[in-house]
């Protein structure tokens, strides 16, 4: 094998590992936010929307975490490197749940609590996908 082929193979493996790491981090972070969301009727959990390119701008009529997680996983799986992915909840009380302690189920919020773990999530995924 030539030096050029060795380098090309390394670059391809590294790119695959990076894409897999990014996808795993996105999926895990978004799923944690959704699952940490407080539940009354399930409407808030169901309104988390994963999109790419631009955030969702409307509410949707969906209840529960499973549909939101399933849709998010489909969005993440369809994307490759160099993307921007959004997780949005447009219900009018979302900010109060995150910042004002509006729910005893999630007094520290969902997003802030997950962001505090972001470094650990990235480190674990990177170790798992090393080339």
Q: How confident is the model at residue 10, as a pLDDT?
A: 62
Ranges of residues in the chain with a pLDDT under 50 are none
- Give the three-state DSSP class for 52: strand
Q: Work out the number of other CB atoms within 10 angstroms of the CB of residue 32.
A: 18
Instruction: In whole angstroms, give the CA distance from residue 66 to residue 75.
Output: 14
In the DSSP assignment, the letter for residue 6 is H
Over the stretch 47-71, which tens digit does the pLDDT of each residue have? 999 999 899 999 999 999 999 999 9
- Both tokens of 81, joined, read 């490197």
> Backbone dihedral region of 104: left (phi > 0), alpha (psi from -120 to 50 degrees) or beta?
alpha
């Amino acid at each position: 094998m030539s030096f050029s082929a060795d380098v090309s193979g390394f670059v391809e493996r590294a790119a695959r590992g990076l894409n897999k790491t990014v996808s795993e981090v996105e999926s895990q972070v978004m799923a944690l936010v959704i699952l940490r969301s407080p539940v009354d009727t399930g409407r808030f959990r169901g309104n988390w929307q994963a999109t790419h390119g631009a955030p969702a701008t409307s509410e949707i009529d969906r209840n529960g975490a499973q549909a939101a997680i399933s849709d998010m996983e489909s969005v993440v799986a369809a994307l490759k490197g160099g993307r921007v992915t959004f997780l949005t909840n447009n219900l009018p009380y979302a900010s109060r749940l995150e910042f004002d302690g509006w729910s005893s189920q999630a007094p520290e919020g969902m997003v802030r609590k997950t962001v505090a773990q972001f470094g650990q999530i990235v480190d674990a995924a990177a170790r798992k996908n090393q080339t």
